[in-house]
């Protein structure tokens, strides 16, 4: 992709990610605790559910220090489960988001909910890592991948039994995603050039997506009224991270949200 289309911070993240991939390829992937596990087909899962809240494990971001001083991914997962989350997103990027790949097997060991590996996936070895450590799906960001790269990663994930949540930000990303064979689409409301969030972006792009493709809205949702509007329009889910992680009681926050949404 053209570097001038993304924020310099994101460009730095991608450079670091390339080095991380090279290191993984050099040392190999030998610990595969969940390699023989049959992953959940997330498209089928979404079609069976009325509406899904994907609760995110997110320690920090490039724009913010730790979201909570007592951050513990397992505590958050248990709170999300009790609160009624239908899926868990796990940020594994280490340098800028302070995530960790080992969060995945630790979380998989305490829940059967669908797990999303959320990272900057650029190479098949990262999909192998996701499979090995218990994920059911991987995030593939249309903006940072060429159409051929995106298509090959979608196919490789499917070969390993994993689903792909293809993230788009605009109409150009959508066209690329559809040509590459995306089966599930996530619309991220964060502009990758300015890093600003506009929740109207999802509503703007949603009508352009074929009806047979489940759509997830991402970034910026805090109010039940905003999410009710997504349900009304036909979205199949929403990914919520920062507001849940920062909450004093994520379990109660989720329960109250779901009660108001009535899903």
> Which residues have a catalytic role annotated?
56, 58, 118, 167, 188, 218-219
Structure tokens that stand for 129 in this block: 């890592």
* Burial of 248: CB neighbours in 10 Å, binned 0-12, 13-18, 19+: exposed
Residue that the structure tokens 């992680």 belong to:
245
Cβ atoms within 10 Å of 43's Cβ, excluding its own: 18
Q: Which helix (H) or strand (E) holds 53?
A: strand 52-57
Structure tokens that stand for 249 in this block: 């009681």
For the chain, percent helix, then strand, then coil, each to nearest 5? 45, 15, 40
| Cα separation, 170 vs 191, whole angstroms | 9
Residue that the structure tokens 């390699």 belong to:
35
Q: Is the dihedral of CA 190, 7, 153, 97 positive or negative?
A: negative
């Amino acid at each position: 992709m053209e570097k001038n289309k993304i924020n310099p911070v994101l460009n730095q993240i991608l450079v670091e990610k390339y080095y991380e991939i090279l290191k993984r390829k050099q040392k190999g992937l030998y610990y595969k605790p969940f390699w023989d596990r049959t992953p959940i087909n997330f498209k089928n899962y979404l079609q069976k559910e009325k509406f899904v809240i994907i609760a995110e494990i997110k320690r920090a971001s490039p724009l913010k220090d730790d979201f909570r001083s007592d951050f513990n991914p397992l505590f958050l997962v248990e709170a999300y489960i009790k609160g009624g989350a239908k899926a868990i997103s796990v940020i594994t990027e280490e340098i800028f988001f302070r995530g960790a790949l080992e969060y995945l097997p630790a979380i998989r060991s305490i829940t059967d909910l669908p797990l999303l590996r959320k990272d900057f996936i650029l190479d098949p070895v990262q999909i192998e890592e996701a499979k090995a450590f218990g994920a059911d799906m991987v995030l593939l960001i249309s903006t940072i991948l060429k159409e051929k790269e995106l298509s090959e990663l979608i196919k490789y994930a499917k070969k390993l039994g994993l689903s792909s949540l293809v993230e788009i930000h605009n109409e150009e990303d959508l066209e690329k995603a559809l040509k590459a064979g995306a089966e599930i689409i996530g619309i991220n409301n964060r502009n990758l050039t300015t890093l600003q969030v506009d929740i109207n972006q999802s509503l703007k792009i949603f009508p352009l997506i074929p009806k047979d493709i489940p759509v997830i809205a991402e970034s910026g949702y805090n109010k039940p009224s905003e999410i009710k509007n997504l349900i009304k329009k036909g979205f199949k889910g929403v990914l919520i991270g920062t507001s849940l992680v920062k909450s004093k009681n994520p379990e109660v926050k989720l329960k109250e949200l779901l009660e108001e949404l009535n899903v």
